[in-house]
Structure 1
Amino acid sequence: MIHGFTKVKNIYIICGRTDMRKGIDGLASLVQENFKLDPYSEAVFLFSGWKRDRYKCLYFDGDGFALLYKRLDQGRLQWPKDEEQVRNLTQQELRWLLEGLSLSQPKAIQKSKKSVF
């Protein structure tokens, strides 16, 4: 199953290091118990291991869980290190992360929060 996550309401990154031996049940339990989030919600949950050269993506599509596992051939992800934190990402931040960039891009043009007109 290939799924584009552009329409998913929330994209959560589980910061820090996750034991990548965990499967669907272990990751769903981690989301529920440690971060008090609902793994059955309209959300994607991202996890990375010690080496930061691989990640897992957990998603409930209405009738079951999908688990995507990717190992990079070259390079490493710039995964946030705070073990106790979960972050809600924008689509742009997700692209940056999966392209090996930092979540904070100081030179990127930021969207304005105020309307001029």
Structure 2
Amino acid sequence: MHGLAMQVQQGLHRDPHAGDLYIFRGRRGDLVKILWHDALGMSLYAKRLERGRFIWPAAVDGVVAISASQMACMLEGIDWRHPQTTWRPTAAG
């Protein structure tokens, strides 16, 4: 969590405590981590897809800006460019 906050501060030159959401994607594309500070403390949310990859828009200067609806679709595993539900596991094992 602290490492991601440092990336926001030093790499993006932004304030990680300002209340914005910062989303980081793993190298394989199947993991995202969301960093958020709510004035009380830092929160870290992580999600890994069982199948497929998160759809990621092209970066401009290392930064991607997405809307709240695009983020909601992305976290549900829906391709926000062509919305439709994706595969869901039926069992845990």
Q: TM-score, normalised by structure 1?
A: 0.60
What secondary structure does 1:33 align onto? helix
Aligned partner of residue 8 in structure 2, secondary structure = helix
SS in 1 for 2:53: coil
Match of 1:97 among 59, 74, 84: 74
Separation in structure 2 between the aligned mates of residue 51 and residue 69 of structure 1, nearest angstrom: 14
Give matches, 1:69-108, under 5 Å. Answer: 69-80=46-57, 82=59, 84-98=61-75, 99-102=77-80, 105=81
Q: Which has the higher strand share?
A: 1
**Count of residues paired in the alignment:** 82
> Is the contact made by 1:75 and 1:100 (CA closer than 8 Å) also made in structure 2?
no
Q: Residues of 2 paired with 1:49 and 1:84: CA distance? A: 18
* TM-score (structure 2 length as normaliser): 0.73
Calculate the aligned-residue CA RMSD, in Å. Answer: 2.2
Contact 1:76 1:100 (C-alpha < 8 Å) held by counterparts? no
Higher RCO (C-alpha 8 Å, min separation 6)? 1
AA aligned opposite 2:79: L
**1:1-117 counterparts in 2 under 5 A?**
24-80=1-57, 82=59, 84-98=61-75, 99-102=77-80, 105=81
Identity %: 30
Gaps of 5+ in 1: 1-23, 107-117
